[in-house]
Amino acid sequence: MLQTRVIPCLLLKNESLVKTIKFKKYSYIGDPVNTVRIFNEIEVDELMFLDIFASKEDIDINFRILQDIANECFMPLSYGGNIKSFDDAKRIFEIGFEKIVVNSNAFKNLDLIEKISSHFGAQSIIGSVDVGKDFFGKKHIYSHHGTKRQKYDILEWVKRLQAAGVGEIIVTSIEKDGTWGGYDIQTLKEVVENTNIPIIANGGCGKIEDIRDAVKLAGVSACAVGSMVVYQKKGMGVLVNFPNKNILEEMLK
């Protein structure tokens, strides 16, 4: 197992996998269960599934597809997408997922995180923070798949999530998403320096050097990867893959 976690972050839309660019344009990748089978063979350490339109369109959690994924998967799983209640979280854990990811509904009900964390433990819940820029280039937090700007300052909100009981936080750059241009190192570094829980980098990874930079320069504990593990290369066709673990280990020493 890699010392620094590198987590394929797979996006669900209905019952298909897709990949977005800057949270807008999306392309079909394939069937989630078949994709899990490939990651099983590659022996990936952890998988994350995010239903990207669930909160935005207020779609109920598709527990059936989550059960199909869990039945097939040999590694720890996390899921995010319109988790509204303690019972939603409980059912996801009962299906076989180890962690849940909460974003949009935390703004409506931060007590939900406290309740889940106190019952299942902080290790079971990931706070999700999507960072985007306004017309003037100022960074803000957005929810509902990047469509609703929230009033909280980025660092204020991550501190609130930590205080509420999340075990780690995934920080996603909307501007970097799907661009292959590297993570938002500046924002990640600021978040790491102002929290004392693991931070997961997300959005923009295009090569293993980007993972190295997020770890070495920003100090993150884990990196989520999307485009790089579902495409052959930038601008080329779908190919589910994973970076060479020996090369990753050597680079992250």
Q: Give 84-94 pLDDT, tens digit per residue.
A: 999 999 999 99
User: Would the pTM count as exceeding 0.95?
Assistant: yes
Q: Is the pLDDT of residue 146 over 90?
A: yes
Percent with pLDDT over 90 in the chain:
92
CATH number belonging to domain 5-251: 3.20.20.70
- Catalytic status, residue 130: yes
> Under DSSP, is residue 152 helix (H, G, I), strand (E, B) or coil?
coil
Closest to 96 in 3D by CA, of 125, 120, 72: 72
- Average pLDDT of the residues in 188-202: 97
CA distances from 96 to 36, 55, 122, 166 (A): 14, 22, 17, 19
Q: For residue 103, name the pLDDT band (cuts at 50, 70, 90).
A: very high
Q: Among the residues of 121-244, which ranges form H helices?
A: 154-164, 185-193, 208-213, 227-230
How many other C-beta atoms are found inside a 10 Å radius of the C-beta of residue 97?
24
Q: What is the pLDDT of residue 222?
A: 97
Q: What is the pLDDT of residue 1?
A: 58
Sorted by where each begins, the domain ranges of the chain are 5-251
Token duo for residue 224 = 């989520």
CA distances from 178 to 34, 112, 234 (A): 22, 31, 9
Rounded mean pLDDT of the chain? Answer: 96
Q: For residue 253, name the pLDDT band (cuts at 50, 70, 90).
A: confident
How do strand 199-202 and strand 222-225 relate by DSSP bridges? Answer: parallel
pLDDT digits (tens, 9 = 90+) for 219-240: 999 999 999 999 999 989 999 9
pLDDT digits (tens, 9 = 90+) for 31-71: 999 999 999 999 999 999 999 899 989 999 999 999 999 99
Give the chain's radius of gyration (CA, Å): 17
Q: For residue 183, name the pLDDT band (cuts at 50, 70, 90).
A: very high
pLDDT digits (tens, 9 = 90+) for 11-33: 999 899 999 999 998 999 999 99
- 130, 177, 184, 210: the catalytic one is 130
